[in-house]
Amino acid sequence: MLSRERRLFFLRWLNNPLRVGVPVPSSLGLGRAMAAQLSSILPNEYVVELGPGTGVVTRALLTAGISEKQLIVIEREPGFIDKLKHDFPHVTILQGDARNMSELLHQRGIKQIAAVISSLPLLSMPDVVRHAIVHKAFDIIKPNGLFIQYTYGLLSPVPVSHQRSIGIHGRIAKRVWRNFPPARVWSYSTEKAV
């Protein structure tokens, strides 16, 4: 028997598999692995979550210490928006396209953020869309801020050529074997990995 959350996710995936990416939400372990990358975020800095879906990573971020006032989530799917607003009434939840994140944030007076944490299915997106999302993110991420992305693929979800053109560097921050399918958490920054 599927939980209400898994059923909602599965139905959204059936409706548009390329937009949702996979038929099941991320595991709690993957959410924790992503949230762990944000240990250096200060209490007065904003974190933007892209594609929160049913809120697994959102919950992990809040549990890890990111406050509801700091967290802004951007989701396109109306069915997910309703669930997010119900489950996280004090988090800023915006409906829109990740390519418009800077405009969505500027409308709220936010000009800089510390990090973007993304559950978007970047590998299933056209190259130009993927590049636009990451480029827009680094337009508003503070110097040496982070873009965190997970993938089920073997290679970086942000190709090296895109990384070079934006002036960022990526590294595998964590492998999460106990997720279906197993995932890699990538961390991108303007700072070279040591």
Mean pLDDT of the region 143-168: 94
Residues of the chain with pLDDT > 70, as a percent, come to 85
Contacts of 163 (CB under 8 A, 6+ apart): 156, 169, 170, 188
What is the structure's pLDDT at 3? 54
Say whether domain 27-189 belongs to CATH 3.30.70.20.
no
User: What's at 169, amino acid-wise?
Assistant: H
pLDDT band, very low/low/confident/very high, at 181 (cuts 50, 70, 90): confident
Q: pLDDT (tens digit, 9 = 90+) per residue, 13-51?
A: 455 554 444 545 567 889 999 999 999 999 999 999 999
**Residue from 38, 56, 52, 167 nearest 115 by CA:** 38
In whole angstroms, what is the distance from residue 72 CA to residue 113 CA? 10
Q: Which is more confidently placed, 148 or 29? A: 148
Domain boundaries, the chain: 27-189
The torsion region of residue 55 among left (phi > 0), alpha (psi -120 to 50) and beta comes to left
User: What's at 90, amino acid-wise?
Assistant: H
